[in-house]
Amino acid sequence: MKFTTAIFGMLVLSPLAHAADLTVTIKNVQTQGGTIVLGLYDEAGFETDGALAGAHIAVDGDTVSTVFEGLAPGEYAIRLYHDVNDDGDMNTNPFGMPIEPYAFSNNARGRFGPPVWQAARFALAADGDTHTITLN
């Protein structure tokens, strides 16, 4: 019976042993109020805007953070924007340029658009990580 209980315990807990937590901290929030809208992506989703997970973080200071729990170790990227007026959209000017603050993991920047996956990706280790992003 003890052997069966031990095997059952290992089967139930083994997926948790490979789950990592990712803490995301966003700095340089200039405008109080509104919501940080954040998406966590794998490589396939980054190109198609298919986020694996997301978060909406109420802005109440110049630094905000959130935690994604139970992620598989691997490569990820983050896209985020500060929805200052809480209208649910990333507002742009008539030329399509964002007028609300935004950022990407690794503080990556693109040329005439979002950065490529290689610039924004980061590795999440099995023991978790903290990723800090500075809002533009």
Domains parsed from the chain with CATH numbers? 19-134 (2.60.40)
Residue 1 has what pLDDT?
Answer: 54
Nearest to 26 by CA among 65, 58, 80, 82: 65
Residue 71's SS3 state is: strand
For the segment 56-78, the average pLDDT, to the nearest whole number, is 98
In whole angstroms, what separates CA 67 from the centre of its chain? 9
CB 65 within 8 A of CB 26: yes
**How far is residue 90's CA from residue 99's CA, in Å, rounded to a whole number?**
8
Residue 2 has what pLDDT?
Answer: 58
Residue 18 has what pLDDT?
Answer: 75
CB 84 within 8 A of CB 100: yes
Nearest to 90 by CA among 70, 114, 71, 110: 114
Nearest to 105 by CA among 116, 124, 120: 120
For the segment 75-100, the average pLDDT, to the nearest whole number, is 97
Residue-wise pLDDT tens digits, 3-51:
554 444 444 444 445 799 999 999 999 999 999 999 999 999 998 989 9
Contacts of residue 23, Cβ cutoff 8 Å, sequence gap at least 6: 65, 66, 67, 128, 129, 130, 131
**How far is residue 7's CA from residue 106's CA, in Å, rounded to a whole number?**
41
Nearest to 100 by CA among 27, 25, 24, 35: 35
